[in-house]
Amino acid sequence: MSGQADVIIIGGGIIGCSLAWELAKRDVDVLLLERDDIAFGQSSRAWGFVRQQRRHPAEIPLMKAANQMWPTLSAELEADFEWTQHGIMAIADSEERMSYYRDWYEQTREFGIETQLLTTRDIRKLNPDMQGAWVGGIYTPGDGHAEPGQATKAFARAAEKLGARIRTGVTVDGIDVDGGQVRGVRANGEYIRARTVVCAAGTWSARLARTIGLDLLQRSVRQTVVEVEPRREISRIATWTPGVAFRQRPGGTVYLARPDDGDMDVDLDAIRNVGWFIPNYLENRDAFRINIGKTLLRDLKRIRPTSRHFRKQFAESAGIEPAPNPDVAQRCRHAFIRLFPHTGNPEVVRTWGGVIDTTPDALPVMGEAPEIAGFVWATGFSGHGFGIGPAAGKALAQLIDSGQSEFDLTPFRPDRFQSGYSFDTTKIG
Ligand SMILES: Cc1cc2nc3c(=O)[nH]c(=O)nc-3n(C[C@H](O)[C@H](O)[C@H](O)COP(=O)(O)OP(=O)(O)OC[C@H]3O[C@@H](n4cnc5c(N)ncnc54)[C@H](O)[C@@H]3O)c2cc1C
């Protein structure tokens, strides 16, 4: 491995890979280091929704830009990743849920996202086979979906073609900082120099950054996804219903998930700074199970981490698959069968788990750390980083290459979590 790069990116998820591509397009000498394989983390486990719908207003400009990028990306990256653009629909079975959709619609009209509020009859027209008693819904025809792992790998391959160096099986376990400036990283026993180091390490970002004394407010939630084979067309519209969210891939299989049925495996990060997460937790208290056990014990054994401990922890965690929750998988299937009884008992192709990283306000952390010159955050995408990924990569590349971005990144500034910072809570599902 060469001992030097202009920019080192830690993490080969959608954020790291789209950033590598954007930097390579700008002729920046970039080296991406990934502990496992490209897209081993959240970026291959996501459902693949690319949605502007129900986004926080602060994210909408970036998300609108991403939606404009997605339709041409397949041609630009020279890869197929099942991009499908037939909209996203969310359905309400209560007035309370419908008023939440209506509020979002009213609050974000100024952004000009084409969106329709739906009556029960509209829902039947959009998906005549779907059974259930609905109050109404919301539909955003310009939204879409894609296969996350394939899209992430396409970014990595395209970046390599433009000269980016991408190394997998390489764990960064130390970041060298001297005189308030990043100098390089340690990875697999080697030292690599760089004046810019980007932390795109997903759920591992907080632990990695703590090795250089930075505190990232980050918490993890495990989700379960099921892929079934109904052997008939369900819909090309990706849909959230109260019992299950689903999207049908072009090949016919369907991803099922329950956004409000997550497992929070309490670790030290969940306890540290717990106060910041309480508002969102209270808003979504029915959306998680809190599990106190193995994960916390593992962290407590390393409560005073030395670099040796971190090295061990990073190394040990490589290649570990998050466990899916079998009860959630069952609930997904049952809810899907209730929606589409005519599919009988669709065969389960696979079930998997994925761990989402979230921040207190469910917005990402993007930009240079004020405490350390050259250390750039690109993390905390809070369960919706896949869709926004291409634009996030572009915005960060602009920032790194020229010191400024065409996008307003102030809502995502790394130092926003200080006393007095107030934010809206985000409702899941
Ligand atoms: C079940 C599930 C469903 C989701 N559904 C959607 C959806 O429908 N739409 C949407 O927009 N978003 C969705 N998301 C969220 C989305 O997947 C994430 O926001 C996005 O993938 C984050 O990308 P990332 O690059 O920041 O992180 P990741 O994809 O997690 O990548 C981080 C990478 O860093 C690597 N790494 C960590 N530490 C080190 C180290 N020390 N050295 C080297 N490498 C390291 C990891 O191995 C990993 O590959 C979902 C997430 C999950 C889990």
**pLDDT, tens digit, for every residue of 387-421?**
999 999 999 999 999 999 999 999 999 999 986 78
> Bridge-partner residues for 181, per DSSP?
178, 373
- Cβ–ligand 1 distance for 299 under 6 Å, the answer no
User: In the prediction, which pLDDT does 334 show?
Assistant: 97
- Residue ID of nearest Cα to ligand 1 atom 50: 46
Residue 141, amino acid: P
Given pLDDT bands bounded at 50, 70 and 90, which one contains residue 425?
confident
User: Which pLDDT does position 269 carry in this prediction?
Assistant: 77
Q: What is the pLDDT of residue 379?
A: 98
Residue 112, pLDDT score: 95
Distance from Cα 47 to the centre of ligand 1, integer Å: 12
Q: In angstroms, rounded to a whole number, what is the distance separating the alpha carbons of residues 18 and 390?
A: 6
Cα 212 to middle of ligand 1, angstroms: 22
According to the model, what pLDDT value does residue 284 have? 79
Task: Determine the distance from the C-alpha atom of residue 284 to the mean position of all C-alpha atoms in its chain, rounded to a whole number.
Answer: 18
Residue having the nearest C-alpha atom to atom 37 of ligand 1: 201
Residue of 386, 396, 412, 428 with the most ligand 1 atoms within 8 Å of its CB, for mutation: 386
Torsion of CA 58, 62, 68, 70, to 10 degrees: -120
Domain ranges across the chain: 7-416
Q: Residue 340 pLDDT more than 60?
A: yes
364 CB under 6 A from ligand 1? Answer: no
- Residue 282: the pLDDT is 82
Q: Quick: pLDDT tens for 367-389.
A: 999 999 999 999 999 999 999 99
CA-proximal residue: ligand 1, atom 5 (nearest):
46
Ligand 1 centre distance from Cα of residue 379 (Å): 9
Q: Is the CB of 155 within 6 Å of ligand 1?
A: no
Atom 9 of ligand 1, nearest CA residue: 49
Identify the sign of the CA torsion 384, 386, 391, 393. Answer: positive
State pLDDT tens for residues 204-227.
999 899 899 999 999 999 999 999
pLDDT surpasses 90 at 279: no
The structure's pTM equals: 0.96
Does 40 sit in the ligand 1 pocket, CB within 6 Å?
Answer: yes
> Is the CB of 49 inside a 6 Å radius of any atom of ligand 1?
yes
Reported as a single tens digit per residue, the pLDDT across 286-318 is 888 888 888 878 777 765 556 666 677 777 777
Confirm if 196 and 7 have CB atoms less than 8 A apart. Answer: yes
The protein residue with its alpha carbon nearest to ligand 1, atom 49, reads 41
What number is the average pLDDT over the span 323-351? Answer: 96
Q: Is 174 in the pocket of ligand 1 (CB under 6 A)?
A: no
Over residues 97-120, the mean pLDDT reads: 96
Task: For Cα atoms 264, 42, 54, give the angle at the middle one, nearest 5 degrees.
Answer: 80
The atom number, within ligand 1, closest to the CA of 318 reads 47
Nearest CA, atom 20, ligand 1: 385
Q: Average pLDDT in the 103-129 region?
A: 96
pLDDT at position 308, please?
A: 67
State in Å: Cα 304 to ligand 1 middle: 27
Q: Which whole number is the average pLDDT over 148-172? A: 98
Q: Please work out whether the CB of residue 16 comes within 6 Å of at least one atom of ligand 1.
A: yes
**Ligand 1 touching residue 230 (CB < 6 A):** no
Q: How far does the centroid of ligand 1 lie from the alpha carbon of residue 174, in Å?
A: 21
The structure tokens listed for 228 are 């079934």
The pLDDT confidence band at residue 281, using thresholds 50, 70 and 90, is: confident
Contacts 24+ apart (CB under 8 A), 297-300: 298/267, 299/267, 299/268, 299/269, 300/268
Average pLDDT over residues 328-343: 96
> What is the widest separation between alpha-carbon atoms in the chain?
66
In 3D space, the residue among 123, 49, 47, 53 whose CA is nearest the CA of residue 91 turns out to be 123
Is the CB of 363 within 6 Å of ligand 1? no
Please state, as a whole number, how many other Cβ atoms lie within 10 Å of the Cβ of residue 354. Answer: 23
Looking at the CA of residue 381, tell me the nearest atom of ligand 1: 19
Evaluate: CB of 204 within 6 angstroms of ligand 1.
yes
Q: Tell me: the pLDDT tens digits for 25-65? A: 999 999 999 999 999 999 999 999 999 999 999 999 999 99
Whether the CB of 34 sits within 6 Å of ligand 1: yes
Does residue 172's CB lie within 6 angstroms of at least one atom of ligand 1?
Answer: yes
Q: How far apart are CA 273 and CA 372, in angstroms?
A: 21
Which residues partner with 198 through β-bridges?
9, 376
Ligand 1 atom nearest the C-alpha of 224 is 1
Considering the chain, what percentage of its residues have pLDDT values greater than 90?
81
CA of residue 42 to ligand 1 center, whole Å: 3
**For range 227-250, the mean pLDDT:** 96
Report the separation in Å between the CA atom of 17 and the middle of ligand 1, taken as the mean of its atom positions.
11
Contact predicate 212/172, CB 8 Å: no
What count of other Cβ atoms lies within 10 Å of the Cβ of residue 34? Answer: 26
Q: From the CB of residue 134, how many other CB atoms can be counted at a distance below 10 Å?
A: 20
The CATH number given to 7-416 is 3.50.50.60
Alpha carbon distance 404, 400 (integer Å): 8
